[in-house]
Amino acid sequence: MNLQHRHRDLAHAAPLLGASMVILALAAGSSPAAPPRAGLDAVRSWGYQLQQIDPATIAASPYDLVVIDYARDGTQEFAFDRATVTAMQRKPDGERRIVLAYLSIGEAEDYRFYWHHDWMSSPPGWLLAENPDWPGNYAVRYWDPQWQAMIFGGPGSYLDTIISAGFDGVYLDRIDAFDVADAEVPRADRLRRMAEFVSALAGYGRSKVPGFLIVGQNGEELLADRSYASVIDGLGKEDLFFGLDGDGVPNSNAELRASLTPIQRFQASGKPVFLVEYVDTPDALALARERAAALGVPLFIGDRELDDVQSR
């Protein structure tokens, strides 16, 4: 998703979700230090905002978990400092909130600090085509050492900046970049290389901050890789019920099943899942809430621009 440009029929799906329930039944300025945080498994509500972030609004929200960009406008110049992050980690009732920083690892974004303008005329070998759905976002060979070094591993890297600001962890986007075709690397290898990338990033983050949280968004097919499933602390899933064929369009029963199967397996391992839907009609809102409740997972509903932390 680009923060600057943001930030099928379900009528027959009820029996599938009924089966799911059975399976799940089994299975600014200075700020005082925030109290110790609870784990992700204690999260019952969450907010997700990547544009027009106001730290005071985040701090005043009721959510147990908030995912935000690491900067007000996505740039290093306006990155949040530790005091501001600490303030956002305290809920109005004084309890601790988990605050994760959004981090895209499968695409390069042309407004980030690592971007060089001369890449437009002379791109590095790991930089590929622009995403037609998100102008300004570019596919990358995410296994390339140069790309990974910009993401983590040194004082000037993206992850190290996030760690220095005191975020509790990262919310990794474009993990599903393994679906971008590459004539030189078969899909099975792309899947494996993404799992290795996330594992290395997680290991580095936790070497700096014990308990540093790693949540992966989408790419649930990768959960079949045990190393990946074991290294992430939670899963974020967009468009489980609606949106694969356009905003507000119900997903088919087959599409729902394809995502639910690995998601349920992941849940059965004891790890949490967080849903994101982009719907606005009364019927769609009611259905999304009903089915998220049936799955027993926190749901955030908003616009794709993700410019408001308040869930519908």
CATH no. for residue 223? 3.20.20.70
Read off the pTM.
0.90
Q: Is residue 212 included in any domain, yes or no? A: yes
Q: Is residue 32 included in any domain, yes or no? A: no
How many Å is the maximal CA-CA distance in the chain? Answer: 55
Beta bridge partners of 286: none
pLDDT (tens digit per residue) in 3-43: 444 443 323 333 344 433 332 332 334 445 657 888 999 99
Q: Is residue 54 included in any domain, yes or no? A: yes
**pLDDT of residue 305 exceeding 60:** yes
Q: Where in the sequence is the domain holding 108, given as residue range(s)?
A: 14-27+44-301
Q: Is residue 37 included in any domain, yes or no? A: no
Q: Is residue 309 included in any domain, yes or no? A: no
Cα radius of gyration rounded to whole Å, the chain: 19
How far apart are alpha carbons 118 and 136 in whole angstroms? 14
State the sign of the Cα–Cα–Cα–Cα dihedral 299, 80, 39, 192: positive
pLDDT (tens digit per residue) in 127-148: 999 999 889 999 999 999 999 9
Q: Is residue 290 included in any domain, yes or no? A: yes
Q: Is residue 81 included in any domain, yes or no? A: yes
Q: Is residue 306 included in any domain, yes or no? A: no
Task: Quote the number of domains for the chain.
Answer: 1
